[in-house]
Chains A and B, each alone.
Chain A
């Protein structure tokens, strides 16, 4: 089954304790992205990756790191989580579009609900 998986699905942690949220896709997609969703703010893009070893910042990258060492995996790292990073996080993947604007569908993972105390 074609899918995007995220782990963990739920996490409660404390300020400053490093954590990693994993994301994996089995569709051989080049493009992967991380979003956070907060009430009243919608989904905001954190980081994205156009291919292996190619990543770039989205609109809200502060406090996050990513890596793309393999095509299928795109982990999100919070080196020192803070309460303002409490949110619902989604990973997404798609085939890579052209530079003129892509109509490729993004497939989303089920989400990770993170609470930082």
Chain B
């Protein structure tokens, strides 16, 4: 079983839709979590850190559920420019980072 698992998608959604991704992690010692965005084999860029209390940044909301060991990303009012691959990342408090394989999102006009 992979340490961080994501549904690869693709998720095809119309513009303006709300879409949610989940990511599960198996290492209960994981302490910090992130969502990164990656466009077509370019470098990943930080979208959001995921805090225990959950956090929101504009149209994006991230949640952490430690009991069930998953994190989620909600995107409201999807834009064409949101089309990308979203990478879930877990850090166990050491300096190692475990990336999920990514979830592809395609927002359709």
Chain A interfacial positions (CB closer than 8 Å to B):
31, 33, 35, 37, 40-45, 48, 50, 56, 58-59, 88, 90, 97, 99-103, 105-106, 108-111
Please judge, given known A-B contacts A90-B44, A108-B44, whether A101 and B101 are in contact too, CB under 8 Å: no
**A45 and B96 contact, CB distance less than 8 A:** yes
Q: Which residue of A lies closest to B49 (CB)?
A: A103
B51 and chain A: residue at smallest CB distance = A103
With A48-B95, A102-B32, A103-B49 as given contacts, are A41 and B41 in contact (CB-CB < 8 Å)? Answer: no
Q: A48-B95, A103-B49 are in contact. Are A111 and B43 (CB under 8 A)?
A: yes
Q: Which of B43, B49, B51, B98 has the most CB of A within 10 A?
A: B43
What's the Cα separation between A43 and B51 when bound, in Å?
Answer: 22
In the complex, what distance in Å separates the CA atom of A90 from the CA atom of B38?
12
Assess the A59–B96 pair: CB atoms within 8 A: yes
Q: Which A residues touch B31, using CB under 8 A?
A: 100-101
- Nearest CB on A from B55, distance (A): 11
In the complex, the answer to whether A43 meets B41 with C-beta atoms within 8 Å is no
Q: Are A109 and B96 in contact (CB under 8 A)?
A: no
